[in-house]
Amino acid sequence: MVDVSKYIERAESEVKRRNFDHAMILYREILQIDPDCGNARSGIRMAAFKKFEKRYPSALERGALNLPANLMIPFASLFKAHGWMVNLCEGALRRDPKNPKLNHRLGHALLALGHSNSAEAAFRVVTEFDGRDIASLKILGQLYADRKELDKALECYEKALKINPRDQEAGRMRKNLAAEAAIQRGGYETATHARELAKSGRQVREAERSKKIVRTREEIEEAISDIEEQLEEKPDDVKALVRLGQLHIQNQSYDDAIDLFLRAQKLAPGDAELSDRLGDARIRRFEADISKAERAAKAGEEGADDRIPRLRRELLELQVEEFTRRVEAHPTDMSLRFRLGSHLIRADRLDEAIEQFQLSVNDPKHRVASLHLLGRAFAGKGILDLAAKQLNAACDKIASMTDQKKEILYELAQVHEKNDASPSALDVYKVIFEADISYRDVSQRIEALNA
């Protein structure tokens, strides 16, 4: 998975500058890359909270703006279309972030998709604006219990019991977790049944890790040590090599991860998933190198500023190469075509990008974004009439004035300005201004065009 830490930093910086709309756009882009990024999931909600801290939309405004989503949500629920449900809820929550029902629906849909980090963020946000939401507290307690974060789990169930001391489920879970925590603190001597379930300490640790995500540096190092022991006994165990490679990625040891994936690839040359892991590791290594160079540049290290553009250029070349390979392997996967097009447009390979977006536009999931980037690519080529057509088509697909629609309208207005169509540009800027007076520099642009 792509390292999104630098994008998170950019979004947080936009929040600090009170540019909440742009921050939410950045968080949405992060979630397109990594739907299970809990920091982005909670960040987008916190940005919406801050946006509305002076004036929260009235019930009438919220009802009108979210009418399309509210009409579609029952159908998404009926057909168990969890991805669709996530998109509907996220869109509605940008305009009504303190809606507990929408947050609950979002959390349950994320759980159904296996995105436990994002689900945790969704339910945790509810407890921040409604500390008496027992349902969210119990779900958070279960999530933490599944990860063996027993102190956090106990805290959630204890809060639930303070609100409702008769809640039998919360009482039972608190009792069980307290016992499990005591066993953990007491070690093997007080947990005879644990010894019976495994022949060695290594097997016990592996059994525990199979039930949770390895997170802390200590846990990662311990897991690496155990798998290295396994590989001494079975050096050709592909699954162990891949697992060890993933742990090195978690540990940000990308060179080691790449070496392990290459070893595994020699043993399983036709494994497409392994090729993707290798490509992701190479991308993450570049991203880490760029972050390191940026920190060095801030510290005033000589030559660091020169390294950054070179590394970014090489990363982009790798991303184009990697996603070209994936598209060739999976030509009907429109998500891959969309991501390839996104990298191609950044590389200024506009004709190739247009070719990908003209295909990915047929995928409902990526239709609006594909139309948007098609418009941007045509604008880059100077074909302004086609750019305006695609951007207008993208706007027509969005019923209400969302942040995404504002961004597309803003680019459409810029296209009209470049095409010497100032009256059309002014009209589009006014549409944005009518919905959001503080959006970017719309106010100044209107004044300039009126002058």
113-153, pLDDT tens digit by residue?
Answer: 888 899 999 999 999 888 889 999 999 999 988 888 888 89
- pLDDT tens readout for residues 245-260: 989 988 889 999 999 9
Q: Which of 130, 158, 177 is the last residue of a domain?
A: 130
For residue 443, give both structure tokens. 């106010």
CATH number of the domain encompassing residue 271 = 1.25.40.10
Identify whether residues 38 and 87 lie together within a single domain.
Answer: yes
* Boundaries of domain holding 417: 365-450
Question: For the CA atoms of 253, 34, 101, 437, what is the dihedral angle to 10 degrees?
Answer: 120
State whether 8 and 124 are in the same domain.
yes
Question: Which of these three, 115, 130, 145, is where a domain ends?
Answer: 130
423 found inside a domain: yes
Same domain, 319 and 376: no
**23 and 105: one domain?**
yes
- CATH number of the domain that residue 100 is part of: 1.25.40
Residue 339 lies in a domain: no
pLDDT value at residue 79 = 83
> Does residue 337 lie within any of the structural domains?
no
| Number of structural domains found in the chain | 3
Q: 48-52, 184-188, 302-306, 442-446 — which is least confidently predicted?
A: 184-188
Is the same domain home to 74 and 123?
A: yes
Q: Are residues 319 and 406 in the same domain?
A: no
Domain match, 308 and 370 both: no
Q: Within a domain: residue 30?
A: yes
Same domain, 313 and 219: yes
DSSP per-residue letters across 318-345: HHHHHHHHHHHH-TT-HHHHHHHHHHHH
173 in a structural domain: no
Note whether residue 149 is domain-resident: no
Question: In the prediction, which pLDDT does 205 show?
Answer: 52
Domain boundary among 130, 156, 190: 130
CA-to-CA distance for 154 and 149, rounded, in angstroms? 9
